[in-house]
A and B are shown apart, each in its own frame.
Chain A
Amino acid sequence: MKPGMNDIPITVSGQMLYSYFRPAQGQEVVIYGRIDVSLGESEKVAVGPVDVSYVIDNSGSTTGFINELKQAVVSSLDLLPTGSGLAVTNFNSFATNLVPISPIEKARVIAEQKIGALFSDGGTMMGFGIEAGLQQLASSKNQIKRLIVFTDGATADEDVCRQVIDKAKQQDVVPVIVGLCAKGSDMSYGFNSKFLEELGGEHYHFLEDPEKIKDIFEQEVKGAAATAIQNAKLQIQPVNWVEIQEACQVLPNCMPATNATEIPIGDIQVGQINASLVKLKGKLPADVTEGKAKSFAKVTLIGDIPSSGIIQQQLGSTNLFLRFTNDPVQTDVANARVAELVKITMASKATQAAAQAAASGNSAQAKQELAKAKRLTQSFSSKDAAEALLAGLEDIERDVDSGQAQRAAAKAGQLGRKTVSFDSKKAADALAALE
């Protein structure tokens, strides 16, 4: 650990679904644990300048909303902190670098002019565009880098896209993929949401309304500027009588659960809610007795803090432990924050299962999963989160009912993943405040 690491205001905390358990020696226990990671403001985790390379689709199909798209890019430039780098590339059948990477202070005026002059024309070769956009970031100076890609259609070079995105990730460039398929348009003509999600992962945004492009660009630029820790992961080290059954990040994104000892949590932004869930199983050892405590697992946060030159070091740790008592008053009380995270995870999984069923054309299964997600959602303690999620689920149900299976799949995939709070800051705050 580097000198002064203790000054970095990172908190890693663990809670079990039950804090107290009966000392039932030899009993098999399956229990959930919640791990929260939070980061306060500090000079040691300075946030600020970032390098952003925009890659904009201006193929013929963008005619109906090219103005909203141009306005969205220009508007998000206002959020780039001083010292940030900016590059802009457009693509249709070809890719053209409109603004080579340069400080925002110098690039701003020329970027506005070039973006303003763009018009819709030609085909969609996204691979060319993202390759050109990534090249701009190769020589950029800031540590936090974003490749923000917008597209509205199918591309003929999916494999090239995959290769370039892999390369970007190796270079610590975070790809942000914004896909638009306007409401009412036919998605079966090739808009491939699944492919775009594969490229963007937790930074993929599926949109139906062009007016929302601006919100997403702004959200991503703001998020990049607030990012202090990158490539973060939680290492779960169970004790010798415990095994991991499931582990995944849940907030801000519900990612697929695995039984691996590592949970990738990506970027950590100052003030952002970040929570993961683990399901642990173990047979209580013979020495558990009244009054004792036992750790089920040690959890360690590893990550990079580019502003301090820290690369893949331990940033904090905690234990997931239980205390043992025969007092039923204590053993029967479930922790509300952990219980809520379990419900969110189950609702997210059901929504993601609905997405898969819809994508494979199984509407009946999709509806069944959506109904399950709705039931779970109604039991949330956070009424704001429940309200936001229920509205989304009902919208997806309408798509399934009207035969828009692919659209339903794209929306359910996104809704099931973006758990922070289902796009509501108020809901996120409510979740964070639960005690």
Chain B
Amino acid sequence: MKCKCGHKNPQGELFCEACGEELKAETKQETKPKASSVKQAADQLLQAVAPKKNGKKTATLVVHKTDEEFDLHDGETLLVARADSDKCQPDIAIEDTSANPSISSTPVEISANSGDIFVKTESAGGFRVIMFVEPGQEIKVKTGDILQFGNHLVRIE
């Protein structure tokens, strides 16, 4: 198995012995999914003829529970809301069928502009952002914020 770095690895290796690159993942990425149904084939066709996004890809949004991925391009806004929202047609629809849904039907807007990413919502419940604080960095927090240390959460009241 030849790695992209040029090193020839013995058969069955999962990682390149020279540079550490994951070989299995590389192979998987190269494999194009086969259309297993008429619907999938139609979706692929629609995707092929759909107008290309003009902006450069800024980020990929990954839904933690389902691993679904959504690309966010410069100048684009994606709406995140409950799948059965009556207030919008969400780009990222999150299923929440519980009796007291915690996902709002009012969308959170995630937009990209010149490489920066912005989030906002009109939802009364608001939403939380988990930020990574760099060593040495100081940020301002307020009542109601939650700090996460490893698996542990501390609420500021």
Binding site for B on A (CB under 8 A): 22, 237, 239-242, 285, 287, 290-296, 298, 319, 321, 326-329, 332-334
Contacts and interface: CB of A to CB of B under 8 A. Distances in A.
Contact of B16 (A239, A290, A291, A328): A239
Interface stretch (B20-28, B93-101, B106-114, B117-125): B20-28
A321 B15 contact: yes
A166 B153 CA distance: 58
A321 B20 contact: yes
Contact of A319 (B15, B19, B62, B148): B15
B130 A239 contact: no
A292 B29 CA distance: 12
Contacts of A291: 62
Contacts of B148: 328-329, 332
Contacts of B151: 329, 332-333
A114 B1 CA distance: 64
B119 to A, nearest CB: 15
Interface residues of B, number: 20
Given A285-B19, A285-B20, A287-B21, 7 more contacts: A22-B132, A239-B17, A290-B60, A295-B20, A295-B21, A319-B15, A332-B150
A298 B22 contact: no
B122 to A, nearest CB: 27
Contacts of A321: 15, 20, 22
Contacts of A241: 19-20
Contacts of B25: 292-293
Given A239-B16, A326-B132, A333 B150 contact: yes
B142 interface: no
Nearest to A24: B134
Given A326-B132, A332-B150, A239 B22 contact: no
Contacts of B62: 290-291
B39 interface: no
Contacts of A298: 13, 15, 17
Nearest to B59: A290
Interface string B4-39: 000000000111111111100100000000000000
Nearest to B64: A327
A293 B22 contact: yes
A239 B19 contact: yes
Nearest to A242: B20
Nearest to A328: B132
Contacts of B22: 292-295, 321
A237 B20 CA distance: 11
B150 A294 contact: no
A130 to B, nearest CB: 43
A328 B150 CA distance: 7
A291 to B, nearest CB: 8
Contacts of B19: 239-241, 285
Nearest to B21: A294
Q: Give the interface centre of B15, B132, B148 by most chain A CB atoms within 10 Å.
A: B15
Contacts of A327: 64
B149 to A, nearest CB: 7
B132 A296 contact: no
A328 B130 contact: yes
A334 B130 CA distance: 19
Contacts of A333: 150-151
B8 to A, nearest CB: 14
Contacts of B150: 332-334
A332 B15 CA distance: 24
A239 B7 CA distance: 11
22 contacts: A239-B18, A239-B20, A240-B18, A241-B19, A241-B20, A285-B19, A285-B20, A287-B21, A290-B62, A292-B22, A293-B25, A295-B14, A296-B20, A319-B15, A321-B15, A321-B22, A326-B132, A328-B130, A329-B130, A329-B151, A332-B149, A332-B150
Interface string B113-157: 000000000000000001010000000000000001111000000
B115 to A, nearest CB: 16
Given A242-B20, A333-B151, A295 B15 contact: yes
Contacts of B16: 239, 295
B60 A294 contact: no
Interface in B45-96: 60, 62, 64
Contacts of A294: 15, 20-22
A263 to B, nearest CB: 18
A285 to B, nearest CB: 7
A321 B21 CA distance: 10
Contacts of B60: 290
Contacts of A239: 15-20
A332 B20 CA distance: 23
A140 B17 CA distance: 42
Contacts of A237: 17
A287 B151 CA distance: 28
